[in-house]
Amino acid sequence: MRSTYRNLQIIKHALQYYISRPNANEKDLAREKSLLKRIEDEVEYYQKAYHITKKRGENNGY
């Protein structure tokens, strides 16, 4: 579980960074934002299921 949760967090942060790149077309951005939402939902599931507290300053603003 622990490595899965960490991997999801890494993917989430990488997608957040990647989405902010210049010259991305709208179709790609829509797909990437959809994937990011699914990853964020899975992270939230792990946080609730395994009582993982959010770190201070964690942002889900995408």
> Strand, coil or helix: what is 16?
helix
pLDDT at 62 > cutoff 50: no
Joined together, the tokens standing for residue 45 give 């599931």
Residue 54: phi and psi, rounded to 5, are -70, 140
What CA–CA distances, in Å, run from 46 to 3, 5, 23, 32, 61?
11, 7, 34, 21, 19
pLDDT of res. 54: 82
Q: What is the pLDDT of residues 17-56, one digit of tens each?
A: 999 999 999 999 999 999 999 999 999 999 999 999 987 7
Position of tokens 């490595």? 3
